[in-house]
Amino acid sequence: MRRLISLSGAIVCALAPGGCSPSPVQPAGGERVRACLDELAAGRGGWAAFSVTYDDVHGLHGGLRLTVHGDGRVEQEAVRAPAGEPRRVPRVDLDRLVALLRELQVWEQQTPERAPAADESQARLTVRCGADEATIWEWYNDLRENRRIVRVYHLLTEIGWQPKAPQ
């Protein structure tokens, strides 16, 4: 039955003038994560319970899992992927990270569900605030085009890794 409803929705979208644009979906805990980010931005939040994780690790291809915690710690796991030397993240950079997360509304899933193509993987972004978390994802091959999760990835690596020495 669920498949039939999904198929009928796809037909309606295909026949509608201009098609259908997917509406954002709020992950479980998304509204509470949004409120937490607002509190952090206003200087009233609890940084100790905050973290952001970028994860594109794939069982066959490897990848990177990079977490920046609200206390400035950086954790990473690189599997057959390049990684930098972690460093402590100062509060000013944590503020930049929260501002970007709010700008991108990372509590809303914007990529619609579909079956993956052959050899296709996802990149995920998880924002945790205490017991609340919101995870969004995009197809790895679409990261640059979407300009959403990839922006967070670039900021995480900029603030979480030691700068490379000039060559």
Q: How many domains does the chain have?
A: 1
| Structural domain includes residue 16 | no
The mean per-residue pLDDT over the stretch 144-159 comes to: 96
| Structural Rg of the chain based on CA atoms | 18
* pLDDT at res. 19: 44
CATH code (residue 48): 3.30.1560
* pLDDT at res. 26: 57
Structural domain of 52: 31-111+120-160
CA terminus-to-terminus distance, the chain? 60
Q: What is the rounded (10 degree) CA torsion for 19, 12, 116, 105?
A: 60
| Structural domain includes residue 6 | no
| Structural domain includes residue 20 | no
Q: Which has more confidence, 126 or 116?
A: 126
| Structural domain includes residue 17 | no
| Structural domain includes residue 15 | no
pTM of the model: 0.80
* Cβ–Cβ < 8 Å for 140, 62: no
Q: Which pLDDT band, with edges at 50, 70 and 90, does 138 fall under?
A: very high
* pLDDT at res. 4: 34
Q: Which pLDDT band, with edges at 50, 70 and 90, does 66 fall under?
A: very high
| Structural domain includes residue 130 | yes
| Structural domain includes residue 14 | no
Q: Quote the DSSP letter at residue 47.
A: G
* pLDDT at res. 167: 61
pLDDT digits over 6-51, tens only?
A: 333 333 344 444 444 445 555 567 899 999 999 999 999 899 999 9
